[in-house]
Chain A
Amino acid sequence: MNLNLVGTQSIQTSPLKLWESVIDPAVLQRSIPGCISMDETGPGEYAITLELKVAAVGGNFNGSIKLSEMDPPNGCFINVSGSGTLGSGTGTARVTIIENEDSSADIKYEAAGEVSGLVAGVGQRVLLGVAKHLVRQFFSTLKKEFDAN
């Protein structure tokens, strides 16, 4: 099934700092929900292992993340693919960073994904909710990176 997510998050930092953190594997590993490992496999390319447990949907996933069309600090494309026992998924997100007048920055994402396997069929009703929950979790952890500084 297809999964589309669009949203914007404001973070109290400059576009440049936000950009740097979004492309920093260490930050990403801390922020991506259930991320167990993230290894660089090439420029802007990472192998990733996830252990996700959200309500009825849970399992291990192996995947890759690839950043492309990098335009610091304005944005990039992120391609994600992964698979596990419960299913496979691929997705592309366009990420745009916009400077706000109040010295914060907006991060805008438009993601389109396709999910297959057990999660697609059994999880169809909860899948969008789960995806939104995971995105929220990602940003709330990411925000904490800047609170600490």
Chain B
Amino acid sequence: MVEKKYKFISQPRHPTENRRFVAGRGNFVADIDRPEMLHVAPLSSHYPAAIINNIDISEAMMMDGVIDVITGAEIGAAIQPLMNGLDTPKVQRFPLAVNRVRYAGEWVCAVVAESRAIAEDALEKILIDATPQPFVLDAEEALLPSSPPVHPEHGSNVLLDRQFVWGEVDDDFAKAKHSLSFSVTWGRNSTVPIETFGVVAEWNGWDQILDVWASVQMPKYSDQIARCLNLPGNAVRVHYDVDVGGSYGVKRGIKHATLIGYIARKLGRPIRFIEDRLENMRAGDAHGPERKFNVEVAFESDGSVRSMKMRALDNAGAYAGRAPFQLGKPISAIVGPYQINSVSYHAISVTSNKTVQEAVRGFGQAPTNYAIETAMDRVASFLKMDRLALRQRNLIQSDQFPYLIPSGSTYDSGDYHAVIEKVLTAADYPTLLANRDHLRDEGMMAGIGIAACLEPSGGNSSFEPLLNESNKTSTWMESCQINVDGLGHLTARIHTTSSGQGHETLVSTVLGEVLEIDPSSIRITRPNSLESLPGNSPVGSRMAIMLGGAAARSAEKLKAKLIKIAAHSLGIDAEKLTYAGGNVLAPDGRKHTWQDAVELAHRQFHNLPEGMDPGLAAFDIMQVPTGNALPVDGKVHMYPCYSFEFHLVLLAFDPVIGRPEIHSYTVGHDCGTVINPAIVSGMTYGGIAHGIGAALLEEFAYDPNGQLMTQSFLDYLMPSSHEVPPIKIVKHCTPSPHTVFGQKGSGESGYLGSPAAISSAINDAVSALDIRFEKLPIRMSAISDAIANKSA
């Protein structure tokens, strides 16, 4: 397909935001300083499960500088429980533990003091009398009726247990020549942004309004705060101009904001709470999916995979939240990029006495991709087929789009074979194979990893009504508003927070492209929630599609008005006019300039067409393309766009030490039309780094007593520049038919396939020893131990 040429889109331009960030002039939550501000420190539970008998705050309250101590009992009686995505009304969650603690690290009470240091000192004076209770950590154990329920009122630990059958699974299994089964486990990890979560809240009693500044990436944040605090929606004003120092899904901050909002209102003073690293790792919104897969696949001798049965058991931690929906998003790409005829999917989410799971980059897609790609490697190994050839046989062909998958989603477009060919060329695959064999000859364990996967994008969260039938949400909108001032300059408002995705660059580039004006002349503002049109925040790889779409549509509306004004002024039919570079041109050579239109719209109402309103402004509220139906019979179309990525990696390690070193990493990425190449490359690079962490290092590990063993960077290991290699990113563009410029999402790119690719490489390296690693992360100790056991 020939790429359409753009003036600003897809061009190498510096992201607008870079300037203030590079200069250290961002506006982060820690930069918010309000007069008379108080500070908060939370007290954490030591026990994974306990009944709280008594909290003695008397000594803490007597300390100089301590203003108040808030307990769970107090806040539980004063506010509504936090929003719960599932239909499990008795699994209630409050910002502080009410009567019972359900995981080690859970906040039991909060000290409010003149400084954070005083608040921390006061924590030592609080006496908690609690009786430890039985607890459960493992998801399979939690599933047993005999396990101690994390929420006794709920009656069991099962939050969600849904069985879907899409297509003739039993039939396909019966007909297929072979089948095999395996289990893999995705370890509990996170995204760990540099900046922990923070929030400042201030109640103005005279205006009856709660101002909130937060480092947040949370859909419907102000609505949720208002509902919890029993306030009208228009009494909560969330300021969207706060820069977010990284999120990748986890900056949910709803329990923090309700707690701090409650305190601010109670005390009538501004309150700040910024998590320290330990609070963040133990009880912030840090933990992502922890998932066990049992997979069975049916296939023919030629490698064609016919059917798949997947059971996914997710350990949600102590409360429901939104996390169980992370079993839902992967339904939209449950066959990956492959032609698999039928699928059964058993999705189970259980509570346990671990930290609450929250959204992490990809919203459950990366673990599922890891399971699907492991299946491909296993089938190839069973048939003694080349892993690459097996994938190429099963991939959906470019002429099969739009492609309806068994679970009801239709993939928009793609050319998977072309991307793979580009990667094989760029990585010089024959040489890569030779290098692997050469490393093996030298005594190293060397392996090549392969992973192909999809990134569903556009953020239509139809998994909500699919997994919770009482939820009838089909609307997932985004908005943009533009205004030309009296001097002729364009300002656009975006109505959400940004956590590094470059939304200002996105909107100015799109507006510049449509209106044919210099993007750097466009001002972007981020007002507060009360001055904003509705939106759903930057989740689900949606903003290029949705915010970019709403911006383009606003610009088209403005352009139409400019043409109408010109037509009236020039006395020519609008259809005969052309728009170029901000001006409107008549066939006879006359030119109605941008400034002419500004003059008429702002100052000469008498010269405007009859019935036209003055001013030059437009807005657009856009629904997700293709998102127009609720689920029927356990099937639903979810995402408008499907980006593709193909990873090819060579790694090697010493058999005694077992520390993988990546020798070569190439990724092919097709996210349709790229708006800003630097931003997309940055996301892909960062996503792969994140995936290296998930594959090799990062895990929130618990000891048998329910204590989190990895709560600081001493134990929770992150990839550094030593572990992240240079990455060759090969771009390909298959435009989406559903979006304005053919763009697709890329916010989760890299991370969705790199853990699968690295696992594939390590398993290739040890294949001669008949060793299989079936759990991520694959720590170097696991590698060296497994090899040592084989050699012994």
Chain A residues with CB under 8 Å of chain B are 1-2, 59-60, 62, 83-85, 87-88, 114-118, 120-122, 124-125
Contacts of B711 in A (CB 8 A): 118, 121-122
Contact between A121 and B715 (Cβ–Cβ < 8 Å)? yes
Against A, the Cβ 8 Å flags (1 = close, 0 = not) of B708-739 are 11111011000000000000000000000000
Contact between B46 and A121 (Cβ–Cβ < 8 Å)? no
Contact between B46 and A87 (Cβ–Cβ < 8 Å)? yes
Contacts of B124 in A (CB 8 A): 59-60, 84-85
Please give 15 more A-B residue pairs, beta carbons under 8 A apart, in addition to A60-B124, A88-B46, A121-B715: A2-B703, A83-B46, A85-B124, A88-B47, A116-B46, A116-B47, A116-B104, A116-B707, A117-B46, A118-B711, A120-B707, A120-B709, A121-B710, A122-B714, A122-B715
Contacts of A1 in B (CB 8 A): 703, 705, 707, 709
Contacts of A121 in B (CB 8 A): 282, 707-712, 715
Contacts of A125 in B (CB 8 A): 714
Answer yes or no: B278 CB below 8 A from chain A CBs: yes
If A59-B124, A85-B124, A87-B46 touch, does A114 touch B715 (CB 8 Å cutoff)?
A: no
Minimal Cβ-Cβ distance residue in B for A85:
B124
Leading 4 A-B pairs by shortest Cβ distance: A117-B46, A88-B46, A120-B707, A116-B46
Q: How far is the CA of A88 from the CA of B282 in the complex (A)?
A: 16
Q: How far is the CA of A89 from the CA of B619 in the complex (A)?
A: 60
Answer yes or no: B44 CB below 8 A from chain A CBs: yes
Minimal Cβ-Cβ distance residue in B for A88:
B46
Residue of A84, A87, A88, A122 near B278 (CB, 8 A) is A122
Contact between A124 and B709 (Cβ–Cβ < 8 Å)? yes
Residue of A87, A116, A117, A122 near B712 (CB, 8 A) is A122
Contacts of A114 in B (CB 8 A): 705
Against A, the Cβ 8 Å flags (1 = close, 0 = not) of B91-134 are 00000000000001000000000000000000110011000000
Name the distance in Å between B108's Cβ and chain A's nearest Cβ. 12
Minimal Cβ-Cβ distance residue in B for A124:
B709
Minimal Cβ-Cβ distance residue in A for B703:
A1
Contact between B705 and A124 (Cβ–Cβ < 8 Å)? no
Contacts of A2 in B (CB 8 A): 703, 705
Name the distance in Å between B267's Cβ and chain A's nearest Cβ. 23
Contacts of A122 in B (CB 8 A): 278, 711-712, 714-715
Contacts of A115 in B (CB 8 A): 707
Q: How far is the CA of A62 from the CA of B43 in the complex (A)?
A: 16
Q: How far is the CA of A1 from the CA of B709 in the complex (A)?
A: 9
The residue in B44, B703, B706, B711 that gathers the most chain A C-beta atoms within 10 A of its C-beta is B703
Contact between A62 and B46 (Cβ–Cβ < 8 Å)? no
Name the distance in Å between A88's Cβ and chain B's nearest Cβ. 4
Against A, the Cβ 8 Å flags (1 = close, 0 = not) of B689-709 are 000000000000001011111
Contact between A62 and B47 (Cβ–Cβ < 8 Å)? no
Chain B residues with CB under 8 Å of chain A are 43-44, 46-48, 104, 123-124, 127-128, 278, 282, 703, 705-712, 714-715
Q: How far is the CA of A118 from the CA of B335 in the complex (A)?
A: 43
Contact between A120 and B714 (Cβ–Cβ < 8 Å)? no
Q: How far is the CA of A121 from the CA of B282 in the complex (A)?
A: 10
Name the distance in Å between A113's Cβ and chain B's nearest Cβ. 11
Contacts of B710 in A (CB 8 A): 121
Minimal Cβ-Cβ distance residue in B for A115:
B707
Name the distance in Å between A6's Cβ and chain B's nearest Cβ. 20
Name the distance in Å between A115's Cβ and chain B's nearest Cβ. 8
Q: How far is the CA of A121 from the CA of B708 in the complex (A)?
A: 6
Q: How far is the CA of A84 from the CA of B104 in the complex (A)?
A: 14
Interface of A, helix, strand, loop or mixed by DSSP = strand
Name the distance in Å between B353's Cβ and chain A's nearest Cβ. 12
The residue in A88, A115, A121 that gathers the most chain B C-beta atoms within 10 A of its C-beta is A121
Q: How far is the CA of A41 from the CA of B46 in the complex (A)?
A: 25
Q: Can you report 19 A-B residue pairs in the complex whose CB atoms are below 8 A from each other? A: A1-B705, A2-B703, A59-B124, A85-B124, A87-B46, A116-B47, A116-B707, A117-B104, A118-B278, A118-B711, A120-B703, A120-B707, A121-B708, A121-B710, A121-B715, A122-B714, A122-B715, A124-B709, A125-B714
Name the distance in Å between A130's Cβ and chain B's nearest Cβ. 16
Contacts of B715 in A (CB 8 A): 121-122, 124
Minimal Cβ-Cβ distance residue in A for B126:
A85
Q: How far is the CA of A117 from the CA of B47 in the complex (A)?
A: 7
Contact between B44 and A118 (Cβ–Cβ < 8 Å)? yes
If A60-B124, A122-B714 touch, does A117 touch B44 (CB 8 Å cutoff)?
A: yes
Q: How far is the CA of A60 from the CA of B123 in the complex (A)?
A: 11
Name the distance in Å between A102's Cβ and chain B's nearest Cβ. 42
Minimal Cβ-Cβ distance residue in A for B281:
A121
Minimal Cβ-Cβ distance residue in B for A59:
B124
Minimal Cβ-Cβ distance residue in B for A83:
B46
Contacts of A124 in B (CB 8 A): 709, 715
Q: How far is the CA of A114 from the CA of B709 in the complex (A)?
A: 14
Name the distance in Å between A85's Cβ and chain B's nearest Cβ. 4
Minimal Cβ-Cβ distance residue in B for A89:
B46
Contacts of B127 in A (CB 8 A): 62
Minimal Cβ-Cβ distance residue in A for B121:
A85
Q: How far is the CA of A120 from the CA of B705 in the complex (A)?
A: 10
Contacts of B709 in A (CB 8 A): 1, 120-121, 124
If A121-B711, A122-B712 touch, does A83 touch B128 (CB 8 Å cutoff)?
A: yes
Contacts of A120 in B (CB 8 A): 46, 703, 705, 707, 709
Minimal Cβ-Cβ distance residue in B for A117:
B46
Q: How far is the CA of A88 from the CA of B703 in the complex (A)?
A: 15
Name the distance in Å between B429's Cβ and chain A's nearest Cβ. 44
Q: How far is the CA of A105 from the CA of B124 in the complex (A)?
A: 40
Name the distance in Å between A83's Cβ and chain B's nearest Cβ. 6
Q: How far is the CA of A116 from the CA of B46 in the complex (A)?
A: 5
Contacts of A62 in B (CB 8 A): 127
Minimal Cβ-Cβ distance residue in A for B47:
A116
Name the distance in Å between B281's Cβ and chain A's nearest Cβ. 9
Name the distance in Å between B310's Cβ and chain A's nearest Cβ. 34
Contacts of A118 in B (CB 8 A): 44, 46, 278, 711
Q: How far is the CA of A2 from the CA of B709 in the complex (A)?
A: 12
Contacts of A85 in B (CB 8 A): 43, 123-124
Contacts of B104 in A (CB 8 A): 116-117
Contacts of A84 in B (CB 8 A): 124
Minimal Cβ-Cβ distance residue in A for B124:
A85
Contacts of B44 in A (CB 8 A): 117-118
Minimal Cβ-Cβ distance residue in A for B707:
A120
Contact between B705 and A116 (Cβ–Cβ < 8 Å)? yes
Contacts of B706 in A (CB 8 A): 116
Minimal Cβ-Cβ distance residue in B for A120:
B707
Q: How far is the CA of A2 from the CA of B705 in the complex (A)?
A: 8
Minimal Cβ-Cβ distance residue in B for A1:
B703
Name the distance in Å between B308's Cβ and chain A's nearest Cβ. 39
Name the distance in Å between A121's Cβ and chain B's nearest Cβ. 4
Contacts of A88 in B (CB 8 A): 46-47
Q: How far is the CA of A93 from the CA of B712 in the complex (A)?
A: 31
Name the distance in Å between A44's Cβ and chain B's nearest Cβ. 22
Contacts of B703 in A (CB 8 A): 1-2, 120
Q: How far is the CA of A124 from the CA of B715 in the complex (A)?
A: 10
Contacts of B46 in A (CB 8 A): 83, 87-88, 116-118, 120
Contacts of B123 in A (CB 8 A): 85
Name the distance in Å between B594's Cβ and chain A's nearest Cβ. 61
Contacts of A87 in B (CB 8 A): 46
Contacts of B128 in A (CB 8 A): 83
Q: How far is the CA of A102 from the CA of B340 in the complex (A)?
A: 82
Q: How far is the CA of A62 from the CA of B46 in the complex (A)?
A: 14
Q: How far is the CA of A62 from the CA of B128 in the complex (A)?
A: 11
Contacts of A83 in B (CB 8 A): 46, 128
